[in-house]
Chains A and B, each alone.
Chain A
Amino acid sequence: MVLTETITDQEIRLHFEIEQFLYREADLLDDRKYEAWLGLFTEDARYWMPMRRNVSSEELEHEFTAERHEMAWFDETKGTLVDRVKQIRTGVHWAEEPFSRISHVVSNVRILEAGAEEVRVRCRFIVYRNRMVEEQSLFVGSRIDTLRRAGRSWQIARREIYLDQSVMLSKNFTNFF
C-alpha cells in the first residue's frame, strides 16, 4: 500500500486482512500447530532463505547468494516442508526434543503490490528461541511473501527470508520463519 492522501476502504480492508493472516500464521507456529501451518502453503510454494556476505558497497549484487545456483540456508518446496514437520513429529528429532520455546514477532507489514489474485507483502520478523535452559537464539530480518487468494483467505505461494547475519550465530535452525 502506498501512502497517499486518500486511502480507500478497500486498501484498509486488504491491509487488515493480510496482517491478520500473518499474525495467525505466527500463532500456528508458536503453538506448534505445524500441520495447520503447512496448510497455509500452496502446493507449488517456495520457501527460500539465502545467505549473506560481507561485500564491498560496490558489489552489493553479490551480498545475497543467488537463488538456486548458490547455497542457501533454506530452499524448500511444500514437499520438503512437509518432511521437516514429519521429522519433528517423530519425537526423536533431538534438535527439537523436547520442543524449544519460540516466539515470532511480525511487524512493519507493508503491501508492495496488490494484484487481483496475489499480493506481495514485506514485513520484519523477530524470532526468539529458548531451548532447554540457557540456550537462546535471536533471528532478526525481513520477509517478502507472495500471498495468493484462496477462497475467503490466503495462501503462501512464495516466501523470501532475509536474515540479518552473515555467519549464523546459533547452532542450528530448528524453527520455521
Chain B
Amino acid sequence: MVAIDRTMQKLVDRNEGTVSREIFCNQDVYDQEMQRVFLRSWLFVGHESQVPKPGDFVLSRMGEEAVIVTRDKQNRVHVLLNSCRHRGNKLCLHDRGKSKSFTCSFHGWSYDSTGALVALPYHDGGYSEMAKEKWGLASARVETFEGSIWATWDKTAPSFVDYLGGSELYLRTQLLGTDGSEDGAEVLGGLVKWRLGCNWKVPCPDVDRSHGWMTHKSLSDAFGVGPTGFPVRRGEGGGQRAYAGSPRTYCVAFPEGHTMGVTIPSDDDPNWGDAGVWADKPVIREYLREKYEIRKRRLGTMASLSVGPAIFPNEGWLGRVIRIMHPQGPLSTEIWTYFFVDRDAPQEVKDALSFYYERWYGPGGMTQQDDMENWYNLTIASKGPMARTLDLNYQMRLSEPPIHGPSRFGLPGLFTPLYSDENHRRFYQRWAEFMEAKDWDELSVRESAK
C-alpha cells in the first residue's frame, strides 16, 4: 500500500464526500494507478477516420506509453506498443503516416502492421533457433465502437460494451453524425496536444457545472457568452443563474465510473443545432438544421438527447470534442484533443467548425485557458506537507439519493441535479475500487444502472 497510513477507501471517502489530496500528487499512488487503472481499463486510442486505409498508422498513447494504431491488409485495426522487442527502442518515430512495416532504427528488427516480427536482417543465421512468432510487438485487445477505437492490455477485462454498462447509449449518441448516421463523423486533421502541470484525474470527472460562472467569468463579463460561446441566459439570480443551463440537464453517473451531463430529449428545443452560436452564420445554421431534420426522422424523440460521456478513466467530451488526459507523472498531464465534424459536410461548414473549436478549446482557447490556470494552481497549492493533510470537498448534495432517469425516455444511469458532486464521488469511488481490486472478478459491476 502507499507510504501514507491510509487505505484507498479512506483516501476516497464516499460517505463523507471527501478525497485526499495525496491521490493527486503522491508518487506511490501514481505508480500503482499506472498498473491498476491504466493496465486494466479500456482506453480511447483514436478514431477509424485517422487510419482510413490499409497501411495507415497513427501514434497514440495508453497511459504513459506510446502505441501505434495501424490498419492491416485485411482492414483490421491493431494497437501495438511502440517499443521494439529486441532492445526496447522506440520503433515508430512519426506521428502518422503510411507504412507496410516498422523497422527499428537500432538493429533493424522489422514488424508488419499486425505487430508480427517479419524480418531480422544481417544476423548471419544467428537467430535460426529463435521462435519469431513469440517476439512480435505487444498487441492490445482492440474494439471499435461507432468508429471510435478502444484498447486494453487486460485479457480478462469484460467486452467494451459491458465495460460501458448503461452508458453505451450515450457514447453511441455522441459519435453519430449530426444527421444521426452511424459512420457520419470524422476527426479533423491536427490533434491538439499539450502539457499541463496537474494530475491526470483533475480534469476527468464530468460534470463540474458549478465552476463555470466563476472560472469563465471573463467570457460572460466581456461577451455575455458561456464556456462554449452560447449566449448566457440573463435571468434572476445574476451570474450563477446564467450558467444553470437547461432545466432538462442532469448529472448522470454509472457504477462503472463513467460520468456525464445529459440533457434529456425535448420535442421543441430551439437551441438544437447550436442556433445561438451560429446566429450570424446562416450557411452553418441551415446545414445543421437540415441535418437535424434527418436526425429526427432517424432517431425520433431521442434526436435531441444531448450528452458528454466521460468514459472511465481518462476520456471526456466538450461538445463534439474528445479530450484524453494522458498521465505524465503525478504532477503532469498531456492532453490530446480530437475535434469531430460530419465527414460529408461541405468544406465551408468544416472550416467554420474548426474556427469555432479554436476559439474556445485547447491551450489557446478563450475558455480552456482559464481552466488550465486553476488546475495548475490547485496543484501548486496542494502538494505541500500541510496541504496534503486537508481533504478535498465533494459534498454538494451528499445525502440526496440519485433519482432514476426520467422514465418517459427510459434513459439509463443514476441521475442527480446538475449542481451536484455525485458524479465526482462516483468517479473517485470507482478509482478506489480499481486501486484495491485484485482482478476483474472483483471489479465487475454486478448490476449496471441500465
Spell out A's residues near B (CB within 8 Å). 49-51, 53-56, 59, 62, 65-66, 68-75, 80, 83-84, 86-87, 89-90, 92-95, 132, 135, 166-174
Contact = CB atoms under 8 A, between A and B. Distances in A.
B223 A83 contact: yes
Interface string B350-376: 110011011100111010111011101
A90 B221 contact: yes
A135 B197 CA distance: 10
Interface residues of B, number: 44
Interface in B192-223: 192-197, 215, 217-219, 221-223
Given A54-B95, A92-B217, A170 B195 contact: yes
B221 A94 contact: no
A86 B222 contact: yes
B128 interface: no
A172 B366 contact: no
Contacts, number: 127
Contacts of B97: 55-56, 59
Given A69-B347, A93-B369, 15 more contacts: A54-B93, A55-B94, A62-B96, A68-B355, A71-B191, A80-B359, A87-B366, A132-B377, A166-B193, A167-B334, A168-B193, A168-B194, A171-B373, A172-B194, A173-B363
A95 B96 CA distance: 32
B369 A95 contact: yes
A62 to B, nearest CB: 8
5 contacts: A62-B96, A71-B188, A73-B363, A73-B364, A93-B370
Contacts of B347: 69
Contacts of A174: 369
Contacts of A71: 188-192, 339, 354, 357-358, 362
Contacts of A132: 377
B190 A65 contact: yes
B395 to A, nearest CB: 24
A75 B354 contact: yes
Given A51-B192, A168-B195, A174-B369, A74 B94 contact: no
Given A55-B94, A87-B222, A171 B195 contact: yes
A56 to B, nearest CB: 5
Given A55-B95, A86-B223, A170-B363, A69 B368 contact: no
B364 A51 contact: no
Interface string B109-137: 00000000000000000000000000000
Given A53-B95, A55-B96, A167-B334, A70 B354 contact: yes
B193 to A, nearest CB: 4
Contacts of B366: 83-84, 87
Contacts of A75: 354-355, 358
Given A71-B358, A75-B354, A167-B194, A65 B189 contact: yes
A8 to B, nearest CB: 41
A74 B218 contact: no
B353 to A, nearest CB: 10
Contacts of B215: 94
